[in-house]
C-alpha cells in the first residue's frame, strides 16, 4: 500500500505487527515483551518478499541497516505456508507481519519484534466498476466486519 491503480479499490482493514515465527520448542526468546532487533543479529531469517516491486522485505532490511544490525536473510519467499515449512525444518526463523487475529499453527510460536518499519495494514483490494459475484461480495463483507479496526 498504497496501490496506485485507479481500476482498484483499496480498503485498509487491520493493523499488522512484526513477529518472529519459531518452532514451539525454541526457548531462546522471552515469553513476555518484545524482541529487540539486536537479539536477531546473525540469526538466519526467512522473510516474505513480493515477486515484483518493493514491500515488507525491503523495509525490514532497511530497518536493520538503519539500526546498524547485521540481518542474515537465508531465504525469501512469497508464500506464508512455505515459511512455516522452512521454520519447521530449522532452515531459519520467520520474520513477518501478521494481523491481530492470526493464530500460529500448532507447534509454532510467535513473538513481537520491536523493529522500526513503516506501519503495515492488511487491506482489501478489489476491482472497481465491475460487477462482483455474490459469493465474492459476501467474502468481502466478512473481511470488512471481522478485520476492520474500530
| Bridging pattern class, strands 72-77 and 8-23 | unpaired
pLDDT given for residue 149 in this prediction: 56
**Summary mean pLDDT of the chain:** 85
pTM for this structure? 0.77
Using the predicted structure, report yes or no on whether residue 94 has a pLDDT greater than 80.
Answer: yes
Contact 120, 2 (CB under 8 A): no
Is the torsion defined by CA of 127, 130, 133, 139 positive or negative? positive
Query: 33-83 pLDDT, tens per residue?
Result: 788 888 998 899 999 888 877 778 888 888 888 888 888 999 999 888 999
The mean per-residue pLDDT over the stretch 95-120 comes to 84
- Complete domains list, the chain, with CATH: 17-118 (3.40.190.10)
Q: Residue 59 contacts by C-beta under 8 Å, 6 or more apart in sequence?
A: 117, 118
pLDDT given for residue 107 in this prediction: 94
Amino acid at each position: 500500500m498504497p496501490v496506485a491503480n485507479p481500476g482498484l479499490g483499496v480498503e485498509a482493514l487491520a493493523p499488522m505487527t512484526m513477529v518472529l515465527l519459531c518452532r514451539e520448542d525454541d526457548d531462546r526468546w522471552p515469553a513476555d515483551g518484545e524482541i529487540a532487533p539486536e537479539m536477531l543479529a546473525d540469526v538466519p531469517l526467512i522473510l516474505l518478499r513480493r515477486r515484483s516491486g518493493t514491500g515488507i522485505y525491503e523495509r525490514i532490511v532497511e530497518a536493520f541497516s538503519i539500526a546498524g544490525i547485521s540481518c542474515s536473510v537465508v531465504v525469501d519467499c512469497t508464500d506464508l505456508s512455505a515459511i512455516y515449512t522452512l521454520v519447521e525444518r530449522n532452515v531459519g526463523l520467520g520474520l513477518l507481519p501478521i494481523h491481530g487475529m492470526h493464530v500460529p499453527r500448532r507447534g509454532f510460536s510467535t513473538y513481537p519484534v520491536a523493529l522500526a518499519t513503516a506501519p503495515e495494514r492488511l487491506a482489501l483490494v478489489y476491482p472497481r466498476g465491475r460487477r462482483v459475484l455474490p459469493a465474492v461480495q459476501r467474502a468481502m463483507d466478512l473481511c470488512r466486519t471481522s478485520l476492520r479496526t474500530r
